[in-house]
Chain A
Amino acid sequence: MAVITVEQVKKSFSTLEVLKDISFSLEKGEVLSIIGPSGSGKSTLLRCITNLETVDSGTITIGGDTLVTTTDQGSAVYADKHTISRIRLRVGLVFQNFNLFPHFSVMRNLTEAQIHVLKTPKDEARQVANELLVKMGLADKATAYPYQLSGGQQQRVSIARALALKPQVLCFDEPTSALDPELTGEILAVIKELASEHMTMMVVTHEMAFARDISNRVIFMDDGLIVEQGSPEDVFAKTQNERTKRFLNRFGS
């Protein structure tokens, strides 16, 4: 069953066409990596799916409900506010630079949305947070503030913050790019662990070895288009596509 379907999505910033015609679907339990050169539209795609950007046309469904669809005349029609706020919670997003709330303790970063958005009772929210902190190896950091944590720890908190809302899909936009090289491993390990638990994930990454390692499927994007998609084997080892080859060569993979 597809958790996310994206059909013929187009998106421009004024005259710059960033997504030209994107279609793909994400199956339950699947780990999908999106690779591609800088400026190819990877972040924009994630941002359209998480409703941080609006598409110009195309269809996106999340968990079987339509976020946006397109009329015959070609204009995008979004679901009503209420539906959007309900279904967008099905997709979590982990940012490159964490975006934790600096004035909240780690605990409150994890409980705030549970309590105020999901209306989870406080005790239960705290319990969920504690379990996630244990899982992320941060059991002793509940009372710390973000500035007191390393980049890797902050990113683990932000993963926990997203997981606390029990999303059906977790998206990552270059989750290790802001980290010192020696800290990227701990984040990749966390994502790998989530993959082994069959968490449905979409990962935009420049870590080719990692993408090959954890993905069920890889999408290679270039210039607003999906140039190629397939198993890691297909894309990394057997690709016949010139653009893919050139990209992979440049990344020394």
Chain B
Amino acid sequence: MGKLLMLMLEGTFTSLRIFFLTLLFALPLGLLVAKGRMSRHRIISSLVNGYIMIMRGTPLILQLIFVYFAPYYIFGSSADRFTAVIIAYVINYAAYFAEIYRGGIQSIPQGQLEASSVLGFSKIHTFSHIVMPQVVKRIMPAMGNEVITLVKDTALAQTIGVAELFRVAQNAAAREFSTMPIFIAGVFYFVMNAIVSKSFDRIERKLDYYR
């Protein structure tokens, strides 16, 4: 039992690495994608829109397999498994985040941008000090949902052989002819997501000082 828990903690560590690395890259990349999606240049915005549609319109598991195997067929070699997972998750989640950002950015009343312009603020200052702080508040609930989904999606990494929590649990279950490890993994995911949603609640409360 002690050994099983050790293994599962190791798997959890891998899951958490996927989780945090994905957020680390997908959160800023999503903002860039959102900017591209809202670009006045037709070509840029439709290219970015195509990318978003593919990312949201096909299963993550398929994208994962594609990112891992496509380079192999084209260049004769693949990225290592873990890197492939991070790349696939980042480009997938960046697309979802981008749409959330876009909704948030477009919900800021035009009048505030006009006020900002008349007061002489630069575009950068307007975006970073007027728009984004309000966007962050508005998108928190949607982001919370997405991040919770990400915790559960880390389980897909096993598709290309990365030993994250769920894979470890399944292996143990097969070895010991018991479904117990799988239920324990369930508890792990539940706890991680409890922490995620508590964190989001706290951030939302923190941002409650204005309406």
Contacts and interface: CB of A to CB of B under 8 A. Distances in A.
Contact of B118 (A52, A102, A147): A52
Interface string A72-104: 000000000000010011011101010111110
Interface stretch (A17-25, A112-120, A127-135, A190-198): A112-120
A95 B114 contact: yes
A102 B112 CA distance: 9
Interface in B94-121: 109, 111-112, 114-121
B40 interface: no
Contacts of A145: 209-211
A165 interface: yes
A204 B109 CA distance: 22
B209 to A, nearest CB: 7
Nearest to A97: B111
Interface in B112-149: 112, 114-121, 125, 129-130, 133-134, 137
Interface string A40-57: 000000000011100000
Contacts of A11: none
Nearest to B207: A103
29 contacts: A50-B118, A52-B114, A52-B117, A52-B118, A88-B118, A88-B120, A91-B118, A92-B118, A93-B115, A93-B118, A97-B111, A99-B111, A101-B115, A101-B116, A101-B130, A102-B210, A102-B211, A103-B134, A103-B137, A103-B210, A113-B120, A113-B121, A116-B125, A116-B129, A117-B119, A147-B211, A162-B118, A162-B119, A165-B120
Secondary structure dominating the interface of B = helix
A161 interface: yes
Contacts of B112: 99, 101
Nearest to B133: A103
B178 to A, nearest CB: 53
Contacts of B134: 102-103
Interface residues of B, number: 20
Interface of B: 109, 111-112, 114-121, 125, 129-130, 133-134, 137, 209-211
Of the four ranges (under 10, 10 to 19, 20 to 34, 35 or more), the interface on chain A belongs to 20 to 34
B111 to A, nearest CB: 4
B139 to A, nearest CB: 14
6 nearest A-B residue pairs (beta carbon) = A99-B115, A117-B120, A99-B111, A113-B119, A147-B211, A145-B210
Contacts of A116: 121, 125, 129
A158 B116 CA distance: 12
